[in-house]
Chains A and B, each alone.
Chain A
Amino acid sequence: MAFSTVGCDSANAESSSESGSASLADSSSGDGEPVTLKITWWGSQSRHDYTQKLLDLYTETHPNIKFEASPAGWDGYFDKLSTQTASGSMPDIVQMDYLYITTYAQNNSIADLKPFINDGTLDVSSVGANILNTGEINGKMAGMVLTTSLLAFGYNPDVLTKAGVNMPTSEWTWDDYISMNKTIKEKAGIADSASIDPLYDTNLFNYWVRQHGEKLFSDDNKSLGYQDDKLCADYLKMWKDLMDTDIVPNPDEFAQIQTLGLEAGPVVTGDAAFVQNWNNYATLVAKSNDKIKIVTPPMATDSDAKGLWLKPGMFFSVAETSEHKKEAAEFINWFVNSEEANDIIMAERGTPVSSKIREHMVSSGKMTQQQKDMFQYVNEAAKLCGETPPPDPIGMSEVNKVFKDVGSSVFYGQATPEEAAASFREQTNAMLARSN
């Protein structure tokens, strides 16, 4: 008897909450009605741990808000999200990436946060307009940007010292980078010292294109933005040469390196000197090796165009189907603006967007050396930063895949860099013209 009653009640509760979404969304959260927010994010175990702590803390101060968290790794995160979204069960709060935000926004799967910014629920007064607007798609605020991130090279000073190589500075060039690695190989006997996959995605190539004064995509996102395929061919040729001389791991070796995870990667363990990552790299691996440093990526030898750009690190988006948009926006506001939350986050997700929080963190004295370096990096890199490009075109993951394929065909010796560059243009343009 008791069992059947419980069963009926929960079933009723579910069906009523589904059908009555409109009325619930309108009601404000002030009445303390119990609300369960579903939230999902990707990240490492340490991110899962402290984010859960954050959620618990928020529930302590807002007893009516409970969370149902589904933390995940990056792999498969967006596969799962797309399926959930298609079936109408997207979590209320979703950690969102620049790569996919346009797709979700254009399909009206994520809610416009502008109303909450306008009514003061979401305070963006200490967030720079440029970075804030990266979340704006077709006039709607599709995501609240949480962090800024910048392309960076991580390096292990011990390895460089062992080979008698000077530490890189923000003025170093690709030529310096190549000669440093050669020296490391000869003097310290470390092969594959640049533990970099130049085809991992198109970010590093984008940087290369920009530092030669061109753009990766045209303004209407319907084609590639650069005209001369030599640019792409040169990029592939440089890396191919480095692979052939055992300075950079080949795709097969890199696949194995990736299975080690960031914290046990060769740069952290002293088996390689350089890695390409983001400016929170040193912070991410600090637990395993606290000596790792970051530096801006190498400059072009023959051009002084500004290649870097301030990239939105990640967003929080709210599902259009959510019945608790207001509560979700309140939580995001707390996440972005409150000192107590950021004392726990400790910039693990990247440099916080709020200038007040950044000041708070610098003055709090709680920051580790890596975190100070990360904040310092933003200032240093500003000199090398050009305009922030518009959000990635729809079909970006397919562009990345095509780039990986044409590049791999060069690395496996099945195509010349010139053929690969032409093929990249042909395939990408066809795809972009169709989907944008």
Chain B
Amino acid sequence: MKGHKNLIGKLYKPRDNVVGYLMLAPWLIGFLFMWLAPAVTSMYYSFTDFNLLNTPKLIGFDNYIRIFTTDKTFIQALKVTFIYVLVLVPLRLAFALFIAVLLNKKHRCLGLYRTFYYIPSIIGGSIAVSVVWKQIFGNKGVIMSLLEVFGIHQQTSLLGNPKTALSVIIIMGIWQFGSSMLIFLSALKQIPGSLYESAMVDGAKPAKIFFRITMPMLTPMIFFNLILQIINGFRVFTESYIITNGGPLDSTLSYVLYLYRRAFTYFDMGYSCAMAWILVAIIAVFTVILFKTQKSWVYYESGEN
């Protein structure tokens, strides 16, 4: 062991590290000033009474206590966001996988199809599409006018009804399945053809092939997509901000929208920062749980497990 250390000491002189750090600098600077500093500051703010304009005043855990004991809107935002994530993520992944399997064939216009299916993911989270969505599902929108033509008169639109508004937002989320689809598609291409060939020789049916070969081989990518999409899902903002502004009756009030409103409409920055850290904790818990369950269902071809 000791000899090892000496050897390393001989081979690498401290000044050699300069180049390394220089190469690292762009990332390091970004990390320190764009990530670490704001994160630490927001952690500090979360323990203060800070309204953006005053000097922050330390108040210990008051913000956190208020969030968990008195804030009904927080519970509502949490509920909405959990429903959103728990419904959206499985559906989006299932849909992405379905389309990926369809596209995983030799076909002349395959590139074209892939592009088409990916487009919603690029533009889907944008403000313009949210506005269009509002025009389709909102009051006097496309859907409502169409139903009117067929003689069905509605008092409220799908977006104006507290019972259905969140579903519209979720459908819009599912529609943005493109990036998961691309990941699945590339993973599908990686599955060795020999596996399929031997299964066919053994006379396995397509459904069996899919569930016994394709799915297990895809589990690493499903795992990866799951984590990515859950994190993204908890951060949903644009859709509920632009389309419904959290309404009606807070039925689409996403966690981040409420956090934003706390900070910039109610001038409650300390409180808002506390909320941000609670969200970090929630996402961390989900991620840890997923990693813990990984052993039991994710199959790594090259790994020892």
Contact = CB atoms under 8 A, between A and B. Distances in A.
Contacts of B248: 251-252, 408, 412
Contact of A405 (B249, B266, B267): B249
Nearest to B269: A86
Contacts of A82: 52-53, 264, 267
A395 interface: yes
Contacts of A253: 139, 156, 160
How big is chain B's contact interface, by range? Answer: 20 to 34
Contacts of B157: 252, 256
A86 B53 contact: yes
| Interface-central residue, B53, B139, B160, B264, by most chain A CB under 10 Å | B53
A83 B264 contact: yes
A427 B247 CA distance: 19
B41 to A, nearest CB: 12
Given A107-B53, A250-B155, A255 B264 contact: no
Contacts of A107: 51, 53-54
A397 interface: yes
A409 B139 CA distance: 19
Contact of B51 (A103, A250, A430): A103
A34 B157 CA distance: 56
Interface string A408-429: 1100101000000000000000
B139 A405 contact: no
Interface of chain A: mostly helix, strand, loop or mixed: helix
Contact of A255 (B51, B138, B249, B265): B138
A104 interface: yes
B51 A79 contact: no
Given A103-B53, A256-B138, A409 B249 contact: yes
A109 interface: yes
A234 interface: no
A392 to B, nearest CB: 13
B192 to A, nearest CB: 54
Interface of chain B: mostly helix, strand, loop or mixed: loop
A85 to B, nearest CB: 6
A26 interface: no
A176 interface: no
Contacts of B162: 412, 414
Contacts of B161: 252
B208 interface: no
A83 B101 CA distance: 47
Interface string A393-405: 0010110010001
Contact of B139 (A109, A255, A412): A255
Contacts of B156: 250, 252-253
Contacts of A405: 249-250
Nearest to B72: A427
Nearest to A414: B249
Nearest to A249: B139
Contacts of A401: 265
B103 to A, nearest CB: 38
B257 to A, nearest CB: 12
Nearest to B141: A256
A108 B161 CA distance: 43
A405 B162 CA distance: 12
Contacts of A250: 155-156, 160
Nearest to B52: A86
Given A85-B53, A395-B266, A252 B139 contact: yes
Contacts of A103: 51, 53, 267
Interface of A: 78-79, 82-83, 85-86, 103-104, 107-109, 250-253, 255-256, 395, 397-398, 401, 405, 408-409, 412, 414, 430
6 contacts: A82-B267, A103-B53, A251-B247, A252-B157, A255-B139, A412-B249
4 shortest A-B CB distances, which residue pairs? A252-B160, A107-B53, A256-B139, A252-B156
Given A82-B267, A251-B248, A256-B157, 14 more contacts: A78-B265, A79-B264, A86-B52, A109-B53, A250-B160, A252-B139, A252-B160, A252-B161, A253-B160, A255-B247, A398-B266, A401-B265, A405-B250, A412-B249
